[in-house]
Every structure is written in structure tokens, then in C-alpha cells.
């Protein structure tokens, strides 16, 4: 527990000094804000921008941040130093998960301020964002665990992030993409953000991804410790 708190403090300070990392966390809320301010007066535009950019934020930011943090720790040898200071791999991963999810949710909460949400809509929004963020962060951890250094991690995380972030948006314009996006967790997040209602389909897709990604994380956790 002490270790997790110490790591969270370290990570907060470190990220505040890391401009690219801050950008990843802030870019989508910022762009959405600018677009809405510029074009939002048109009917339905602000809702569409919020859905689009919030989906991108939930799929891209946690994925890239988590994979970057872990792979940088490996590349710079700080992870070794931590392990030799008695930090267990589990508490390291827990602290990183906590950090990435809370920061993404915090910066993502800016979207709530951009649209006139009803209370029900806001609750569904928060739930969908949380699910999407946790899954993306888990995927980021998996990428980080399999990569030796930051560039290898980015090489994997960026394409995955682009697919999960952009497919739900492109699905608006193409029916077959829309069908594919239904099976993508970010596609489901996008649907909930748009409709403002949680659905059974959303729950089912989230559960499947949660099982898959948790399984992969545990598998990598065990094989890596050999």
C-alpha cells in the first residue's frame, strides 16, 4: 500500500514534467472545446463533437499513456531500481492502472462541462467513459509489458489506438464499418455516449473485452516473471 502511494506521487510529479504525456491527456478535450466554441451553435453539433472526441480520448489516451510509462521505465532501467527496492510487480501495475485511469477520467470530465447533459445522460456518459478507459489502460499495460522500449511500445500502441479511436467515428459514414464497430469496445462506448443510455449489448461487449484483456494481462504477468 505504501509502495502504491509512493509510486502514485512519483508518477504525478513525473507526468507534470513530461510535456508529450500531458498533451496526450489534454489534446482531445482541448480540441473538442475549440470545435464546439467555433461551430457549436449549429444544431446537434456539440453533441456530435463530444461523442467523437470523448470516444477518442477514452480509447487513445489511456492506451498510449500506460504503454509509454511502462516501456519508459523498462528502457531507462527505473523499473529494475524499483524491483530492487522491494516493489512487487503487482503493486507497480496496480499503481500504474490507478494513475492512468484517474488522470484520464479527470481530464475526460471536461467533456461533461461542454454539453448540456441531463443527469441520466451524465451518469451513462461517466459509466461508458470509465469502462472504455479501464479497457484501454489494460491494453496499454499489455503493450508495455511486451515492449522493451518506448519506440517499440509506440509502434504497437499507436496503430491499436488509431483503430479503436477512429473506427467509431468512421462508422457514422459507412454501414459495414458501423457493423464492425459494434464489436469494438470503443464502438460501444461511442454508442452509449451518443444515445445517453446504457444497453445490454454494451454490457456484454465490455464484459467480453474485460475478460480477454484481464486474461492477457495475467498471462503476460506470469510469463514475464520467468
Cell representation of residue 158: 499507436
Q: Which residue, among 123, 125, 119, has the nearest Cα to 50 in the 3D structure? A: 125
Residues 10-49 binding another protein (CB under 8 A) are: 10, 13-14, 17-18
What DSSP letter does each residue of 85-115 carry, written as one string?
Answer: TT--HHHHHHHHHHHHHHHHHHHHGGGGGTS
For another protein, the closer of residues 79 and 189 by Cβ is 79
Q: Decide if residue 80 touches another protein (CB under 8 A).
A: yes
Rounded to 10 deg, the angle between the 175-182 and 150-170 helix axes is 120
Q: Decide if residue 2 touches another protein (CB under 8 A).
A: yes
Q: Decide if residue 148 touches another protein (CB under 8 A).
A: no
Residues 59-78 binding another protein (CB under 8 A) are: 76-78
Q: Decide if residue 88 touches another protein (CB under 8 A).
A: yes
For another protein, the closer of residues 18 and 214 by Cβ is 18
Rounded to 10 deg, the angle between the 150-170 and 185-195 helix axes is 40
Kindly state the DSSP code that residue 202 receives in the 8-state scheme: H
Q: What's the min distance (Å) between Cβ of 2 and another protein?
A: 6
Give the up-direction half-sphere exposure of residue 168: CA atoms within 13 A in the CB hemisphere: 30
For another protein, the closer of residues 7 and 143 by Cβ is 7
For another protein, the closer of residues 6 and 45 by Cβ is 6
**Residues that bind another protein in the complex, under the rule CB under 8 A:** 2-3, 5-7, 9-10, 13-14, 17-18, 76-78, 80-88
Amino acid at each position: 500500500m505504501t509502495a502504491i502511494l509512493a509510486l502514485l506521487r512519483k508518477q504525478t510529479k513525473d507526468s507534470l514534467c513530461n510535456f508529450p504525456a500531458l498533451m496526450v491527456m489534454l489534446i482531445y478535450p482541448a480540441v473538442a472545446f475549440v470545435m464546439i466554441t467555433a461551430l457549436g451553435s449549429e444544431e446537434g453539433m456539440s453533441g456530435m463533437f463530444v461523442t467523437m472526441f470523448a470516444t477518442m480520448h477514452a480509447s487513445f489516451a489511456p492506451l498510449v499513456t500506460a504503454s509509454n510509462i511502462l516501456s519508459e521505465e523498462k528502457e531507462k532501467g527505473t523499473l529494475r531500481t524499483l524491483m530492487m527496492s522491494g516493489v512487487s510487480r503487482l503493486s507497480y501495475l496496480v499503481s500504474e492502472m490507478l494513475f492512468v485511469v484517474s488522470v484520464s477520467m479527470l481530464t475526460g470530465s471536461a467533456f461533461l462541462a461542454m454539453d448540456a447533459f441531463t443527469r441520466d445522460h451524465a451518469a451513462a456518459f461517466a459509466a461508458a467513459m470509465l469502462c472504455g478507459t479501464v479497457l484501454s489502460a489494460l491494453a496499454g499495460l499489455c503493450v508495455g509489458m511486451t515492449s522493451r522500449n518506448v519506440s517499440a511500445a509506440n509502434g504497437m500502441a499507436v496503430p491499436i489506438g488509431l483503430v479503436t479511436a477512429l473506427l467509431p467515428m468512421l462508422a457514422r459514414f459507412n454501414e459495414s464499418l458501423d457493423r464492425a464497430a459494434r464489436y469494438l469496445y470503443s464502438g460501444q462506448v461511442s454508442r452509449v455516449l451518443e444515445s445517453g443510455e446504457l444497453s445490454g449489448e454494451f454490457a456484454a461487449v465490455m464484459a467480453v473485452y474485460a475478460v480477454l484483456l484481464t486474461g492477457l494481462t495475467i498471462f503476460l504477468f506470469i510469463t514475464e516473471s520467468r
